Amino acid sequence: VELRLVDLSLPIYDRMPTYPVMPKTAITPHIGEQDLPFNLHQLVLCSHLGTHLDAPYHFLSDGLTVDKLDLRKCVGPAAVVDLSGKGPKEEIRPEDLYPYEEAIASCRRIILRTGWDKRFASDGYFSDHPAVTREACVWMLERRIVCLALDMPSTHVSEDAETHRLLLGPDAEVVLIEGLRGLDRLRGAQVVLMALPLAIEGCDGSPCRVVAIDGDVASLGASLNALALEDENSDLRGAT
C-alpha cells in the first residue's frame, strides 16, 4: 500500500503578507553583542500567520488557549470536500456538503478545498474568499466534527465573528485550521490530517506545519480516531 506525505503549509518568509490589522512579519538574522559561531534568527510572527490554527480563546475570552487543546483533534482522518468551483465571496452552504455526509460523520474532520490559496499574496486573498455560511457551520456541528481545515485565510469575509464563535464555542470546541496550501495534490477522498500548533502558553492561535497522509488510509484513520491520551499527570515542562 503506497502512502504519500503531502505538505499543505504555506512557506513563512520575511514580510509575508497577513491581514492589515495584524503585526508585520519580520524574519531577520539576530545581531547579538558578539559574533556567534552559529546562525540565529529573530522571528516576529502574528499568531494567525499563514497556515495556522485558531484556538477557542481567539474569539471567546474564556475559551481554551492553544497550549491546552486536545491534540487528538489535530491528528486523524479527514474528509476532503471539493469546492473548487466556488468563486470570490461565494457562499459555501450545507447543500455543498451533503454528498460528503457519510465521510464527514465517520472522519469528524473536514478539509474544504476551494483552491483559493492560489491567490495568496495577490489582491483579494484576505478580503474576497469564498464564505462558509452559518448554516454550513451548524450542519457540520450536527455531524459532531472536531476539526475544520480551510485553504482560505478565514471562514467568512463579513460573518467571520459569528462563524468562528459557532465553531470555537464551548459546546463544539472545533479545531480550526486556516490558510492551507495545495489541496489539489491530494488524490484520496479521505486522508490523515496532522496540524500541530506550537505550545505557546495563553495564546489564541499558532502557525502550524500541516501535512496529510494520502493513499489507502482507511485502517490508519480508524486507529487514529481511537487514540488515547498519555497519562495526564505527566508534566512536559518538568519540575520548576
Residues that bind Zn ion (CB under 5 A): 48, 54, 178
* Nearest-angstrom CA–CA distance, 89 and 157: 7
Residue with smallest beta-carbon separation from Zn ion? 48
Minimum separation from the CB atom of position 72 to Zn ion (A)? 21
Pairing of strands 205-215, 26-29: unpaired
Minimum separation from the CB atom of position 155 to Zn ion (A)? 9
Minimum separation from the CB atom of position 48 to Zn ion (A)? 4
Lookup result for grid cell 475570552 = 61
* Nearest-angstrom CA–CA distance, 26 and 29: 10
Nearer to Zn ion, 19 or 72 (CB): 19
Minimum separation from the CB atom of position 98 to Zn ion (A)? 27
Nearer to Zn ion, 48 or 109 (CB): 48
The three three-digit cell numbers of residue 148, written as one number: 475544520
Minimum separation from the CB atom of position 176 to Zn ion (A)? 7
Minimum separation from the CB atom of position 90 to Zn ion (A)? 21
Residues 6+ positions from 21 with CB-CB distance below 8 Å: none
| CB 168 within 8 Å of CB 196 | no
Whats the size of the chain, residue-wise? Answer: 240
Nearest to 177 by CA among 155, 159, 161: 155
Nearer to Zn ion, 54 or 214 (CB): 54
Nearer to Zn ion, 56 or 77 (CB): 56
Nearer to Zn ion, 53 or 140 (CB): 53
Nearer to Zn ion, 58 or 108 (CB): 58
How many Cβ atoms are within 10 Å of 119's Cβ, its own excluded?
A: 16
Q: What b/e sequence results for 19-37 when a residue is b if at least 16 CB atoms lie within 10 Å of its CB, and e otherwise? A: eeeeeebeeeeeeeeeeee
